[in-house]
Amino acid sequence: MPTLTFHVADGATLNFSPKALVIAGWAGRDAASVEHHIRELEAIGVKRPSTVPCFYPLAPALLSTDATLSVPRSDSSGEVECVLLATEQGLMVGIGSDHTDRRVEAYDVTVSKQMCGKPVSDTVWRFDEVADHWDSLEMRCWRVRGGDRALYQSGSTASLRDPRELIERFTGASTLPVGTVMYCGTQAVIGELGHGDAFEVELHDPVRSRTLKHVYSVEALPVSE
């Protein structure tokens, strides 16, 4: 498995080989917000989930800190998500994007997520440093399309289930196994859901006055019909 290098905000360097990757879906705390996102996806043909939250296991090799993401066609889009990394140095949190093929999502959600790499910031925070004020963190995503940069998603982590709850629901325990990466849910889209030439994702901590960012461009590969 490829080893990724992360920079911890306190100056440490982390060499990390992901062993498992899971996406937590429908992870909102508020039932109305979850329903809003379900309807967004229903509008493009995605079936309703049987349970919420749910967990999609994916190939860990999809995790990437690269600045370019190659995808088939122009049918995919990003989703800003907090990302947990269970490492030998403890639990870390980064900001990433659950980039998903929307065309395939209409008939198979798991396959649609498996088709795209999962971007994540190469700088992370120690989870213990934000655990006591987790609900004050702010998530944002900008989409660049045709040269125009526009706010695509914005919201507080308070709108999503606490990551410690997601860990317990997924594992039945209070910790993630070392080597596991979990994406922890997204915010509602502002405007139209869909393709972008680039996405910028951000996690801001107003208590410690610091921000995690990741920017990636999307390379749509030609597909023969």
pLDDT for 51 equals 81
pLDDT tens digits, 119-169:
999 999 999 999 999 999 999 999 999 999 999 999 999 999 999 999 999
Burial of 9 (0-12, 13-18, 19+ CB in 10 A): middle
Rounded CA gap, 206 and 125, in Å?
14
pLDDT tens digits, 25-71:
889 898 787 787 678 778 877 778 878 899 999 999 999 999 999 99
Q: Is residue 180 over pLDDT 80?
A: yes
Q: Is residue 105 over pLDDT 80?
A: no
- Cis bond leading into 163, ω under 30°? no
Q: Which of 15-24, 26-35, 143-152, 196-205 shows the lowest mean pLDDT across its residues?
A: 26-35
Q: Is residue 111 over pLDDT 90?
A: no
pLDDT for 1 equals 66
Rounded CA gap, 95 and 201, in Å?
7
Report residue 6's pLDDT band, with 50, 70 and 90 as the boundaries: very high
pLDDT (average), residues 14-29: 95
CATH dotted code for 4-220: 3.90.850.10
